[in-house]
Structures are given as structure tokens and as C-alpha cells.
Amino acid sequence: MTKVRPIAAIAMLAIFAMAPLVITPVGAQQLSDRAKQIGGKFTCMCGCSQVLTECNHVGCSTSAAMLKELNQSLSRGNSEDAITQMFVQEFGTKVYAEPPKSGFSLVAWALPSIFLFIGTGVVIFVISRWRKRPVQQAASASGVPGISAEMLERARAQASRETQD
């Protein structure tokens, strides 16, 4: 009887470990490679800001409906451009996972590179200016440039008089 318990426990553990492989989650669909490719260009509109094919909210009805609509459009033979236009008309341009590389959205693609080059140029300019700046010559014996030894002695005498009282 004592040998049966460990074997039963291992069997139960193996069953629970294999269950996710056998059971398909609710709402999961078999997507073709083309549907996965096209779905990867859209954002799930449930508010998670994840790519449509990778939305991992449990029971996300929005992604399931969007993927179903995508599959139906593909089975009807619609082109990728037609499907994209359909989603854009339904959800607006925020459905794009990345901005399109045309029109004003092209600025979103170009600005990071432009700012990188400008920033690098500014850093190089500032460093070169710092390197060209003349090194301050060693100050006189007093340690402070522009103060003569006579003025320093007068200031010390005055400080001495004022602190003796």
C-alpha cells in the first residue's frame, strides 16, 4: 500500500503536467501561418496594448473576435490590404501594432535616428570645446589668481584684528 501512493502521486503529477498540451484553452483557434503573420501587425483592442496574436488575457473576448474576423476574411479570400483597411475602418489607426511607414507616420520612424545623430554631434562638439579650453596656469603662491601678496597680507591682518576682540 505504501508503494502505491508514490506511484499514484507521480501519475497524477504527470497527468496535470500534460493537461495543457492536450486541452485547448477556451476561445483558442487554429490560425494559419498567414493569419498569424497578418494578426501580428495589429494590436488587441481590449486595452492590453499587446499584439493581437499574443494577447494573453484569460478569456479575452476582443482578441478572440478579432482573430475570428481575421480568419473569416482570409477564408473569403480577402487580401492583406483589404483586411488591414477593414480593421482600420472598424478600430481606427490605433489598431496598428507599429505605425505605417508612410505619410506623417514616417516621422515616427525617422526621428529616433535623427536625434541620435544630433545628440552624438552635440556631445562631440562639447567635448572638443572642453579639450581646446586653455588650462589655467598655476596661481601665485597665495593660491588665488588675481590677488597680490600685499592685498592678501592686508586681509589677513584685518581678519586677525577683528577676531582678537
Counting every residue written for the chain, the total comes to 165
| Whole-number pLDDT of residue 140 | 46
Among 42, 57, 55, smallest CA distance to 89 is for 42
| Whole-number pLDDT of residue 19 | 60
Residue scoring higher pLDDT (125 or 66): 125
Quickly state the pLDDT bin for 157 (edges 50, 70, 90). very high
What does the pLDDT average to over 93-109?
80
Do the Cβ atoms of 43 and 49 come closer than 8 Å? Answer: yes
Among 29-38, 64-73, 86-95, 138-147, the minimum mean pLDDT is found in 138-147
Residue 63 makes CB contacts below 8 A (sequence gap 6+) with 27, 44, 46, 52, 55, 57
Query: What phi-psi label fits residue 93: left (phi over 0), alpha (psi between -120 and 50 degrees) or beta?
Result: alpha
| Whole-number pLDDT of residue 32 | 74
CA dist 162 → 7, 153, 155, 156, 158 (Å): 95, 14, 11, 10, 6
Look up residue 23 and give its DSSP letter.
Answer: S
How far apart, in Å, do the first and last CA atoms of the chain sit?
101
What does the pLDDT average to over 119-139?
83
pLDDT at 141 over 70: no
pLDDT at 23 over 60: no
25-79 per-position pLDDT tens digit: 444 446 677 888 888 888 888 878 788 888 887 778 888 888 888 888 888 888 8
